[in-house]
Each structure stands twice: as C-alpha cells, then as structure tokens.
C-alpha cells in the first residue's frame, strides 16, 4: 500500500481523503496530513482516522505520493518548504487552478513525477468530476493516483495544455449550475410554491436531465426538441432565453473563467 500525504487540510483534501478511504486505495495508517491551522488539522485527522505531521517537508519525506491541497497563492511557500524532501521517486499531485507542472518543477528544482488534477466539490459526496493530466510518471503510479480520484466520481485524462480550459467545464461550473438552480427555486417561491418542495423538484430535474443526456444517446438539441411541443410552453421559455442570449452568455462566462486561469497561471 502506498503512503499518501496531504499538505492543506481543507475542502479538497477532505473530499479526496474520503474517496481514498471509501475505495480502500489506502487506509488511515497510510495517510498523513499537515496544515498550518492546528485545529483544522486535528479535526480532519480525528474525523477520518488519519495521521498528522508537523511540517510540509515531513509529509513529503514520509509519503510516496503527496497532494498539494492548498490555494494557488500558498504554492510558492509550500514548494519552498518541501524542496529539500522532493526526489525523483516522490510523486506530487497538484490540484490548484492555474499552477503548471513546469512552475512546480522549476520551483523545487526537480522534475519529479507529477499529476495535475482539476477536481470539483461534489467529490465530497463521491459524485465528483475530475480531470487529470500526467507528467514524467510511470503507468503504475499514474494508475494509483487515477484510482484515488475515480473512487470519488467520474474522471477524464487530458493533456496539460487543456487544464486551464477545463476549470470552466468541471471545476468552477458547479457554481454556474447553483446559480441556475437558485433562479428556478426563487421563481417557484415567487409563484407560491413551498421552497423545500421546489428545491426537491429542481434538484431531481437537474439530475434527471443529466442522466437523459448521458444515457438516452440523444444530443442536447434533440432532447430540447423532445420537451418542446409546437406552440407550447417550453418554446416560449426558450424564446426568452434566446432573446437574452443565454447560450452565448454561458460561452462568454466560461471564456472569462479560462482567461482568469491564464492570467493567474504560473
């Protein structure tokens, strides 16, 4: 069993550790975490039954695979801290938006095996969508990292050049969907429908529509036609969305997301 380390004990570390424990890729004895906030560290360790470490450097020393689960702005500090412990044998997994493996290799002065990952928060419930790209890594080690994430949902392997664009597709897109859901629930409430009943219907509609897209074999356009009878209610709603340029608004929003990732890129 590989030893897996985490630097940062936040939302993403919690979600990924949950998936690893569920899948049995590693047990609590083989997972170590460090965070600058001692309370957060102890809480996660207790909650998941995993080990704690007193420094980022010691996490890397005592792990085969280390997940860098801190915000992009904390990367330079963390890379400086772990530099003495990284060797060509150590696998690093980076989950930060816009941080390239080139930047990491340069900062630590070692072209160690790496996997760049873009997960999303539904990973917390085991229904995540994660994109992964690899660098300089053996098939066996990549498969191990891949399984850590596939235990928590759907996965896709991409080229690293696509990792900034994919943020709009799976990483930040849950926020766009929540906004869409909020508008639908708020509308229902305005029409006098109980909020919890509306939320139940909206969530089931989102899940059901996603399942239709996935399983029916129909394209989005065909599925839209199947809901829209001529002269009916759906067409009226679609006409309004078209008038407001909904489709292009989504494209522009996703493009803004990618542009920001490019700006923040290191």
Binding site for ligand NAP (CB under 6 A): 7-13, 34-37, 40, 56, 69-72, 74, 77-78, 95-97, 118-121, 171
Q: Distance between alpha carbon 157 and the CA centroid of its chain, in Å?
A: 13
- Other C-beta atoms closer than 10 Å to the C-beta of 183 total 11
Question: Which CB, 134 or 198, lies closer to ligand NAP?
Answer: 134
Minimal distance in Å, beta carbon 172 to ligand NAP? 7
Of the candidates 133, 164, 167, 161, the one whose C-alpha atom is nearest the C-alpha of residue 263 is 164
Minimal distance in Å, beta carbon 212 to ligand NAP? 26
Question: Which CB, 82 or 91, lies closer to ligand NAP?
Answer: 82
Question: Which CB, 59 or 185, lies closer to ligand NAP?
Answer: 59
Question: Which CB, 44 or 198, lies closer to ligand NAP?
Answer: 44
The SS3 of residue 157 is: strand
Cα distances (Å, whole numbers) of residue 34 to 9, 95, 183: 7, 16, 39
Minimal distance in Å, beta carbon 23 to ligand NAP? 19
Q: Tell me if 83 sits within 8 A of 59, measured CB to CB.
A: no
**In angstroms, how far is the first alpha carbon of the chain from the final one?**
33
Minimal distance in Å, beta carbon 74 to ligand NAP? 4
Q: Tell me if 164 sits within 8 A of 118, measured CB to CB.
A: no
Minimal distance in Å, beta carbon 41 to ligand NAP? 8
E runs forming strands in 125-177: 128-135, 153-157
Question: Which CB, 9 or 198, lies closer to ligand NAP?
Answer: 9
The SS3 of residue 94 is: strand
Burial class (CB in 10 A: 0-12, 13-18, 19+), 253: middle
Question: Which CB, 28 or 72, lies closer to ligand NAP?
Answer: 72
Question: Which CB, 60 or 198, lies closer to ligand NAP?
Answer: 60
Minimal distance in Å, beta carbon 182 to ligand NAP? 17
- DSSP assignment of 17-51 equals HHHHHHHTSS-GGGEEEE-SSHHHHHHHHHHHT-E
Which residue, judged by CB position, is nearest to ligand NAP in the bound state? Answer: 10
CA distance 57 to 77: 11
Q: Tell me if 79 sits within 8 A of 54, measured CB to CB.
A: no
Minimal distance in Å, beta carbon 19 to ligand NAP? 14
């Amino acid at each position: 069993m590989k030893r897996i380390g985490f630097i940062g004990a936040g939302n993403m570390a919690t979600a990924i550790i949950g998936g690893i424990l569920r899948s049995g890729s590693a047990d609590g004895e083989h997972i170590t975490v460090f965070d600058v906030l001692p309370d957060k560290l102890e809480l996660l360790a207790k909650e998941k039954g995993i080990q704690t470490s007193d420094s980022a450097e010691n996490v890397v020393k005592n792990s085969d695979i280390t997940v860098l689960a801190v915000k992009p702005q904390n990367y330079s500090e963390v890379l400086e801290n772990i530099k003495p412990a990284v060797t060509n044998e150590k696998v690093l997994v980076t989950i930060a938006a816009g941080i390239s493996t080139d930047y990491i290799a340069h900062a630590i002065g070692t072209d160690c095996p790496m996997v760049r990952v873009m997960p999303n928060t539904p990973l917390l419930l085991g229904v995540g969508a994660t994109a992964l790209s690899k660098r300089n890594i053996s098939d066996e080690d990549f498969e191990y990292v891949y399984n850590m994430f596939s235990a928590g949902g759907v996965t896709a392997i991409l080229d690293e050049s696509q990792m900034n664009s994919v943020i709009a597709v799976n990483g930040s897109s849950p926020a766009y969907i929540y906004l869409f859901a909020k508008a639908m629930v708020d509308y229902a409430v305005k029409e006098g429908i109980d909020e919890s009943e509306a939320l139940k219907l909206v969530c089931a509609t989102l899940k059901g529509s996603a399942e239709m897209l996935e399983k029916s074999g129909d394209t989005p356009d065909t599925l839209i036609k199947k809901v829209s009878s001529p002269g009916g209610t759906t067409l009226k709603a679609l006409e309004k969305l078209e008038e407001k340029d909904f489709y292009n608004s989504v494209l522009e929003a996703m493009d803004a997301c990618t542009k920001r990732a490019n700006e923040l890129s290191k």
